[in-house]
């Protein structure tokens, strides 16, 4: 026997389908999102250079647009921006990466020394509190940690780039990606016109979602880029003045730590303070305290000054939403999921904001 609750459930489902299916804009938006997600998921491994080129071209398009606003022809603006991009890429490849790689190799080679120093300090704990843990247990734990760190360090240095296939792929990417970025910028209108012909005709809702996402992501990426540069340069300057070892490597970690909100700043604390403590230890406590104070000030200025200044018009997401996005998309796509967690969360927020709300019929009392 069918109850009243069953009829209410069927009525709710029927009304929901009647409200959604006839709306061609919602169908178009859902189709584009579903097809785009499947395309990225299936072809991500094959078309990685294409996706990377599209992202870089999207980032550089803002500079091209600003140059056009200053009455420069688009082709001239594209050439200027692309030349600046190649200059920055050359600096990263031939100056920055060798410097950071050298410091990383030096740091990994000193891992046994760092572990031994840490072990000496940790062994003082069972001496003072033998009832909690024994020296033998501490030694076993430290030996296991040392072996794991050595393995991870060696993998980090060698990586897949040492293999012939990885080296060939890297060379191909270095040639193809800048070339595709140039053509994406130069022939933007031609490529967009070709792409639009495959989209559904009724896409007003899709355009509204894209406009919001475009504005929010552009503000977010612009702010993050400036924040990374400021934090990187300030950290390197401070670490260099304080004569801290591996200054460029640690400054790079501090700069890129802002890509993972809340989590990155916590994770980068351990290498910075760990290197400072191993370098000076308890014998030169003043130098260690200087690094600790400087690091704390940099993080405080970033959180209190830079973030409100750079992101006043950027992504408006609750911290809980950001953390959930990092966990969810990071679980799906690993590092790149974490890297793009906030832009993807912005897309979800824009879709939910633009999605039509059901109209509530007035009830007769």
Question: Over the chain (365 residues), what is each successive 10-residue block's mean pLDDT?
Answer: 51 57 66 77 76 84 87 90 92 86 80 70 68 68 69 59 59 85 91 81 75 74 84 91 89 85 78 83 74 89 78 64 78 72 77 64 49
Query: What confidence score (pLDDT) does residue 365 get?
Result: 47
What are the phi and psi torsion angles at 261 (to 5°)? -55, 140
Whether 23 is covered by a domain: the verdict is: no
Two structure tokens written together for 108: 């990994």
Q: Say if residue 58 is in the same domain as residue 171.
A: yes
Enumerate residues 6+ apart whose C-beta is below 8 A from 139. Answer: 119, 123
Q: Are 89 and 175 in contact (CB under 8 A)?
A: no
The last residue of one of the domains, among 161, 189, 217, is 189
Two structure tokens written together for 149: 């760190």
Q: Say if residue 223 is in the same domain as residue 162.
A: no
Q: How far apart are CA 212 and CA 241, in angstroms?
A: 43
Q: How far apart are CA 103 and CA 97, in angstroms?
A: 10
Q: How far apart are CA 122 and CA 142, in angstroms?
A: 9
Q: Are 302 and 233 in contact (CB under 8 A)?
A: no
Query: What confidence score (pLDDT) does residue 33 get?
Result: 76
Q: List the domain range (segments joined by +) for residue 122.
A: 47-189
Q: Is the pTM of this model over 0.75?
A: no
Q: Say if residue 258 is in the same domain as residue 287.
A: yes
Query: What confidence score (pLDDT) does residue 161 get?
Result: 46
For the chain, the distance separating the N- and C-terminal CA atoms, rounded to the nearest angstrom, is 30
Whether 17 is covered by a domain: the verdict is: no
Domain count, the chain: 2
Q: Are 239 and 288 in contact (CB under 8 A)?
A: no
Q: Say if residue 250 is in the same domain as residue 227.
A: yes
Q: Say if residue 142 is in the same domain as residue 259.
A: no
Two structure tokens written together for 56: 């870089």
Query: What confidence score (pLDDT) does residue 361 get?
Result: 47
Q: Say if residue 283 is in the same domain as residue 308.
A: yes
Cα of 162 vs its chain's centroid, Å: 25
Helical axes 24-43 vs 341-354, angle rounded to 10°: 160
**The dihedral sign for the CA sequence 256, 261, 265, 267:** negative
Two structure tokens written together for 185: 């910028």
Q: How far apart are CA 262 and CA 326, in angstroms?
A: 10
């Amino acid at each position: 026997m069918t109850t009243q609750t069953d009829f209410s459930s069927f009525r709710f489902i029927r009304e929901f389908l009647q409200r959604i299916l006839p709306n061609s804009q919602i169908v178009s938006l859902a189709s584009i999102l579903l097809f785009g997600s499947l395309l990225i998921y299936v072809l991500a491994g094959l078309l990685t250079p294409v996706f990377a080129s599209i992202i870089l071209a999207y980032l550089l398009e803002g500079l091209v647009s600003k140059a056009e606003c200053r009455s420069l022809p688009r082709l001239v603006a594209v050439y200027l921006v692309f030349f600046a991009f190649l200059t920055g890429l050359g600096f990263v490849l031939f100056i920055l990466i060798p410097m950071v790689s050298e410091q990383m190799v030096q740091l990994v080679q000193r891992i046994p020394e760092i572990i031994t120093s840490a072990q000496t300090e940790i062994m003082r704990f069972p001496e003072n509190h033998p009832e909690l843990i024994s020296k033998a247990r501490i030694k076993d734990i430290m030996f296991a940690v040392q072996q794991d760190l050595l393995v991870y360090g060696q993998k980090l240095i060698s990586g897949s780039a040492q293999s012939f296939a990885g080296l060939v792929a890297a060379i191909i990417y270095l040639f193809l990606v800048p070339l595709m970025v140039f053509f994406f910028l130069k022939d933007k209108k031609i490529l967009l016109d070709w792409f639009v012909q495959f989209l559904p005709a009724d896409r007003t809702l899709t355009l509204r979602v894209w406009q919001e996402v475009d504005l929010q992501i552009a503000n977010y990426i612009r702010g993050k880029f400036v924040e990374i540069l400021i934090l990187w340069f300030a950290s390197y300057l401070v670490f260099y003045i304080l004569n801290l070892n591996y200054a460029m490597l640690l400054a790079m970690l501090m700069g890129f730590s802002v890509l993972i909100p809340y989590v990155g700043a916590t994770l980068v604390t351990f290498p910075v303070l760990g290197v400072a403590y191993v370098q000076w230890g308890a014998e030169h406590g003043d130098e260690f305290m200087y690094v600790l104070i400087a690091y704390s000030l940099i993080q405080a200025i970033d959180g209190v000054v830079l973030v409100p200044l750079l992101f006043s018009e950027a992504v408006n997401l609750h911290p809980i939403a950001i953390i959930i996005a990092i966990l969810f998309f990071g679980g799906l796509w690993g590092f790149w999921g974490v890297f793009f967690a906030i832009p993807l969360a912005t897309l979800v927020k824009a879709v939910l904001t633009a999605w039509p709300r059901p109209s509530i019929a007035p009830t007769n009392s």
